[in-house]
Structure 1
Amino acid sequence: MNIDEKDRLILRHLGEDARMPVRELASRVGLSGPATGERIRRLEASGVIARFTVELDLAKLGFPLQAIVRIKPRPGNLHIVEDMIMGEPRFLDCDKVTGEDCFVVRLAVRSIADLDPVLLPFHDRAETNTAIVKSSPLKARNPL
C-alpha cells in the first residue's frame, strides 16, 4: 500500500489521540471530513491501522512499579516458559529476542515485594534478570 504524506499525518495524529473526531483530524491534515474518513477506512482495511486502543494509567490502577525482566529458559523449557508468560496477566509486553535471553518482558507490580511471587515459578525452568523501570521518556513512538 502506498502511504502518502496525508496518510502519515493522519497516523501521527491518531497515534497521539485515537479518539480525535474525524472533523478535527480533517482540519489538522487539510482534508475534508469524508476524505479523511475514507483514508482511515482504507488504512484499516489494508491492515496499516490494526486496531484502536486505550492507554491505561497503571499507577492509578494500583500498579505504580514496572520491571523489565529478561528470561532465559533452561534447555527444553522454551515453550513451557512462553506459556507461563502468556498466562500471567501482570506481564504487559513480551518480546522474543535473539542473544543470550529468549524473552524480554515488561511486568506491572504493586510493590517490589510482588516480584517474587510472580517470578519464583519461573526459577525452576528459566534464569531471570530484573531491572526496575525508573521512568519511560519514550513510549510507543510512531516511526512516521
Structure 2
Amino acid sequence: MELDNIDFQILRLLSENSRIQWKDLGEQIHMTGQAVGNRIKKLEENGVIKAYSLLVDETKLGLSYTAFIIFYMKTTDHDSFIRLMNDRKEVMEVHRVSGEGCYHIKVKVSSQEKLNLFLDKILEYGNYSVHLSIKEIKQQHSLYAT
C-alpha cells in the first residue's frame, strides 16, 4: 500500500489522539468524516495501523524503577525465553539486537526487590548487565509528532 500526504496527516492526528471522532479529524484535513473513516479502515486492513493504545502514568501505579537490561543468551534455543518475556508484566519492551548482547529489555518495577526477583528468574537463560534509569528526559508518544 502506497501512502499519500493525507494518509500521513491522518496517522499524525490519530497518533496525537486515537479517540478523535472521524468528523473532527476530517475538519482538520478538509475531508468528510466518512471519507476519513474509509481511509482509516483501509489503513487498518493493510496493517499500517496495527492497534490503538493507551498511555498510562506508571508512577501513579507504583512503577518507579526503570531498568534497561542487556541480555546474553547461554543457548541457541530462545523459545522459552521469549515466552517468559511475553508472560512477564514488568517487561515493557524486548528487542533482539545485533551488537552487544542478544536482547535489550526494558523493565518497569515497583521496587529494587522486584527487580532482583526478575533478574534471578532470567539467570537460568543467560547473563545480563543492568542499567538503571535515573531520570527520563524524553518519551516519544507519537511516530508522527510535528
Q: Which runs of 5+ in 1 are unaligned?
A: none
* TM-score for both structures, normalised by structure 1: 0.89
Aligned twin of 2:73: 73
1-structure distance, mates of 2:137, 2:74: 30
Relative CO higher for 1 or 2, CA cutoff 8 Å, sep ≥ 6? 2
2-structure distance, mates of 1:40, 1:76: 41
1-structure distance, mates of 2:76, 2:5: 48
* One-letter identity of the residue aligned with 2:89: P
Aligned twin of 1:137: 138
Matched, 1:109 2:109: yes
Q: Which runs of 5+ in 2 are unaligned?
A: none
The Cα RMSD (Å) is 1.8
Q: Deviations 1:31-56 (Å, cap 9, x if unpaired)?
A: 11111111111111111111112122
> What's the CA shift for 1:82?
2.5
Q: Check conservation: 2:72, 2:103, Cα contact below 8 A.
A: yes
Q: Check conservation: 1:81, 1:126, Cα contact below 8 A.
A: no
2-structure distance, mates of 1:71, 1:136: 24
Q: Check conservation: 2:70, 2:100, Cα contact below 8 A.
A: no
Identity %: 24
Deviates most, 74-83 or 47-56: 74-83
Deviates most, 2-11 or 129-138: 129-138
Aligned twin of 2:124: 124
> What's the CA shift for 1:25?
0.8
* One-letter identity of the residue aligned with 1:48: V
Q: How many residues were matched structurally?
A: 144
Aligned twin of 1:19: 19
